[in-house]
Amino acid sequence: MHIPHNVIWERAAQPKQQFIAWLAIQHRLKTRDRLHNQWDISDKKCLLCDVCDENHSHLFFECFYSSRVWQDVRDWMGFGPEILKLNTLVRVCRRFRNRFQRTMVQACILAVIYQIWRVRNVAFWEKKVMNIPNIARCIKSDVKHRLLAIGGKKLRVYAMEFLSEKGAWIMV
């Protein structure tokens, strides 16, 4: 499935989040299965759950850790059913008819992908796994601050209305 460029390159997301999501959709991030194939590393276990082999779909959606992060963000944003693959991003974003709401959801999705990848890298290099509530707070803070930074007065009003409806404006 082709992912429209406006899902990834949405201005509400930070450029680093856009880049990581773009690599993730193309399965180009250096997950342990890719490292195993390229450099013959022996351990392919997920750094976040240490149960299954780490690949893109496991890391971002099947892993217990990442599925809990998605659940927290879904509850916060109210964007419904479970996301099982990167390709379902398009369907989730299209559910929202209001452009601002769609932008918010896209920013959240990209922030989640980025934070999961960041936590995975910290686990790889520093042997520490951040707890899930802290990751959820980082995601909420990223989205909130990015929207406030790029938007004018009208966007701020929409942001406050949308987030307060979802119970999401109460953030760090």
Residue 171 lies in a domain: no
Task: Supply the Cα-derived Rg of the chain in whole angstroms.
Answer: 16
Residue 1 lies in a domain: no
Residue 3 lies in a domain: no
Residue 5 lies in a domain: no
Residue 2 lies in a domain: no
Residue 7 lies in a domain: no
Q: Give the per-residue pLDDT at 122.
A: 94
The domain of 145 spans 15-165
Q: Give the per-residue pLDDT at 74.
A: 83
Residue 132 lies in a domain: yes
Q: Give the per-residue pLDDT at 168.
A: 47
Low-confidence ranges of the chain (pLDDT < 50): 1, 167-172
Q: Read out DSSP for 96-149?
A: --SHHHHHHHHHHHHHHHHHHHHHHHHHHHH-----HHHHHHHHHHHHHHHHHH
Could you tell me the pTM of the whole model? 0.83
Counting the structural domains of the chain, the total is: 1
What are the Cα distances from residue 41, in Å, to 31, 47, 172? 11, 14, 39
Residue 135 lies in a domain: yes
